[in-house]
Structure 1
Amino acid sequence: MSVFDGKRLPAGFFQIDTERLREGWYSDAYFLNTEMILTTLAEEGYNFNGMSDIIEIDNINNINGISPVNLNNGDIIVEMQFFTRRRPFSLIAGTDEAIAILRECTGYFNDKGQFVNTYHTMEVEAAMDGVVNFYEGNPKEVSPIMKIKGKYRDFARLETPILGVLTESTRIATNVYNVLAAAGGKDIMFFPARFAHYKVQEMHGYAYALAVKAYNQKYGKSSRAIVSTNAQGNWWGAHGGGTVAHASIACFLGDTAETMMQFCRVVPQEVPRIALVDFHNDCVGDTLKVMEKMFLAFLELYQAGRYNEAEKYRLFGVRLDTSGNMRDVSIPPLGDKNLDCGVNPRLVWNVRNAIDRAYESWDFPDSYAELAKAWCQQVKIIATGGFDAAKISRFEEMRVPVDIYGVGSSFLENSNVNNTKNDFTADIVKVKIDDKWYDLSKVGRRSCSNPDLGLVGGI
């Protein structure tokens, strides 16, 4: 069952380019060629005039008792299955959009150039977005997440965009799921917007949220879905969040503490105050400057009884984003780039220790010591820059005190390394002749089943 309550997303969410999908604008040319050939044969009334290794032809020119006169290849009805073979599993996403494409774009153009929708003549089975699809490695034992039965020339041109939707959505969802597993359910900020075309942000954000909910449901966790753009949250009703960028600090002439003071003063209180502290490659130093300035502003308002206003100056966390080719000034060199540079465990521990004891050097009345201590120790550490499931796993195994990870480009990866390749493919596995289905597929493939498949309703 889908983690989104068993309901499919409305077709309108996807803003499908219906006109150009129908015209084959996004289709590989060989599918268009096939459609043109089948359409021409149907118009000509062509009947099968070849030989088949799958269906035996007897000596009176019948195909298993079926006369070739009745076999019009142009109108051939097929069963096509769509599947992926990522090991050991994939978290499926994109079926809702694929179905929306089929509903809107299955059919043909008549002699007057009008599109005739024939989706109602098809039978479509599909898994719900959010199901986990397992694959053990046997190429003949795939678990299809969608099956289409219908006149092939009516949907041939849709194979390319459907495969693309399923591949991209499922890859993101599965990669996010694996990162959450590596982080043990800690919050994962979704930061790939700058690494992909802006038009795919909505789909990416949906796949991310799907994975967060699936992981929480599976393991009883409460990880939050945190996106950076409004587009990423559009399909599920969320808004982008964030605080400051390096460019913000540059606008304040490199003064990170003053940047945060103005952020706190101007930005609504419900936005978490997260300081980016690597501008000078001195995460500890900038963290301490930000904390002291913000706490003293907090304390002044607190002492005046303006408690709600004081909360504007409560630091939620600091974000470490040190470049992988830079060594923070707090890190004594060991001569190994992997140990010295970027956001590494030693840097996180240095910052954590500095945060927890920062109040000890501040000038305030002793009666507020416990308040200051609590204010400091609730500050979280957000680690970003070059994180993926493998790096997060190392940090978690070492119990590095990261509270939240921010992950970007690794969510988009689709390589053969560690079986992360998430490509989908589709095959015709059966043909229908005189109301009887015959197995027919390329060598190495066959029609397979999946209990997660369910019939999809009509238009």
Structure 2
Amino acid sequence: MGRFATVDDDTIRRGECTDIYFVRTEEVLRGSGKNPQVAMEVTAAALPDEWAIVCGLDDVISLLEGLPLTVEAMPEGSVFYPGEPVLRIEGGYREFARYETAVLGFLCHASGIATAAAHIRRLAGTRAIFSFGSRRQHPALARMVERAAWIGGVDGVSNTCAPEGIPLVGTMPHSLVMCYPDVGEAFTAFDRFADPGVPRIFLCDTWCDEKRESMTGARCGAEGVRLDTPRSRRGNMRAILEEVRWELDSSGYPGVKIVLSGGISREDIVAYRDIVDAFGVGGAIANAPVIDFAMDIVAIDGEPCAKRGKRSGKKQVWRLPGEKHQTLPA
């Protein structure tokens, strides 16, 4: 049986998943008998948005556990701004040089997902946001993707490998509906055989007009209807949503909620949040731009020191009244 194209935990913990120049750096330092005591800080000079959310520190801690290092960081889930250090590592450089690749990888990816989720959460206001995007990433990353989305503020996630305690949410795929001769039979079967604790949210765009299938769903006991209409068939999505809401309300189903999914963007959240009760968001969270962190030496043997374009010395981030923030020498 073949192996998946992934790196196992032990390889990462041994520092063998690294950039080759770190291995060569260790060889050179060892050969010359040098192991300076350094302080290194992780910062991002620029962000996709005005602010971001730091995430992935749990993996960093797991990676560095047991090494003779001092590690300080912002709390997981903190808001940070360009140039602010989110993590500082102090110790003999040879002890952790090769781990820089993994440290940055953990932080860059998870922070990007958490940041995207947080901005979407803010735009959605009181509307529910669900992470439906784990299929847009390698399955080995599903736990990280869902955890980061949760830290960013989503109300639930779809992947069964999410960390314990994060609510699992999901409706039904088109393939389930297509296994029955008509949507009503599919909805009835779901209501009969799905766990009673699972919300009865029926997918109402498989064969016919969304309004018609939504009414069928309501008559079959739907708590909510999900619209996942393909972009090629959407036309005026607001008009479709308004029609569905009108028919449900006028037919005595005002309590049936509307869930919208399928390529949902930030712009969609803003456009439809007044009429949609919940959004299932995929790629806009899971495929978020990574945070472009860098990890740089800011002190050597206790003396402030930094490469060109960086600020030397250890730093402390302060939050001030009026949403102001400042970074000062530690």
TM-score by length of 1: 0.64
User: Cα deviation per residue 1:145-171 (whole Å; 9 max; x = unaligned)?
Assistant: 111111111101100011010011111
Aligned amino acid, residue 176 of structure 1 = A
- Between the aligned partners of 1:19 and 1:291, the Cα distance in structure 2 is 51
- Contact 2:41/2:85 (8 A) holds in 1: yes
Give 1:370's aligned residue.
none
**Residue in structure 2 matching 1:177, options 118, 127, 142:** 118
Identify which of 238, 249, 265 aligns with 1:356: 249
2:319 is the counterpart of 1:391: no
In the other structure, the counterpart of 2:3 is none
1:317 to 217, 224, 238: 224
Q: When the two structures are aligned, how many residues end up with a matched partner?
A: 310
Matched, 1:166 2:107: yes
The share of aligned pairs that are identical, in percent, is: 30
Match of 1:279 among 192, 203, 206: 206
Describe how 1:194-343 pairs up with structure 2 within 5 A: 194-212=135-153, 225-232=155-162, 234=163, 236-253=164-181, 255-292=182-219, 294=220, 314-327=221-234, 340=235
In structure 2, what is the Cα distance between the partners aligned to 1:379 and 1:450? 50
Secondary structure of residue in 1 paired with 2:233: coil
CA offset at residue 238 of structure 1?
3.1
Is contact 1:24–1:32 with CA below 8 Å preserved after alignment?
no
Contiguous gaps of at least 5 residues in structure 1: 1-15, 43-73, 105-118, 136-141, 213-223, 295-313, 328-339, 359-372, 416-420, 454-459
Q: Which amino acid aligns with 2:37?
A: I
Matched, 1:41 2:48: no
Whole-angstrom CA distance in 1 between matches of 2:279 and 2:171: 15
Aligned to 2:259, the other structure's residue is in SS state strand
Structure 1 equivalent of residue 322 of structure 2: none
Aligned to 1:95: 57
Tell me, in whole angstroms, the C-alpha distance in 2 between the residues paired with 1:414 and 1:385.
16
1:380 aligns with 2:257: yes
Unaligned runs of 5+ in 2: 1-6, 320-330
Q: Is the 1:127–1:452 Cα contact (8 Å) retained in structure 2?
A: no
Indicate whether 1:402 and 2:276 are aligned: yes
- Give the root-mean-square deviation of aligned CA atoms: 2.0
If you compute each CA radius of gyration, which structure gives the higher value, 1 or 2? 1
CA shift, 1:394, in A, is: 2.4
Partner SS state of residue 185, structure 1: coil
Alignment correspondent of 1:305: none
Q: Within 2, Cα distance between the matches of 1:239 and 1:183? A: 19
SS across alignment from 2:316: coil
**1:270 to partner: Cα distance:** 1.4
Q: Looking at secondary structure, tell me which structure has more strand per residue.
A: 2
Work out whether 1:445 is the aligned partner of 2:319. no
Equivalent pair of 1:83/1:145 in contact (CA under 8 Å): yes
Q: Which has the higher helix share?
A: 1
Structure 1 position 284, deviation (Å): 0.8
Work out which of the residue numbers 78, 84, 92 in structure 1 matches 2:38. Answer: 78
Check the 8 A contact 2:155/2:167 in 1, yes or no. no
Paired residue type of 2:12: L
- The answer to whether the Cα contact below 8 Å between 2:53 and 2:111 also exists between their aligned partners in 1 is yes
Call closer, same or farther: CA 1:185–1:164 in 2, change over 3 Å.
farther
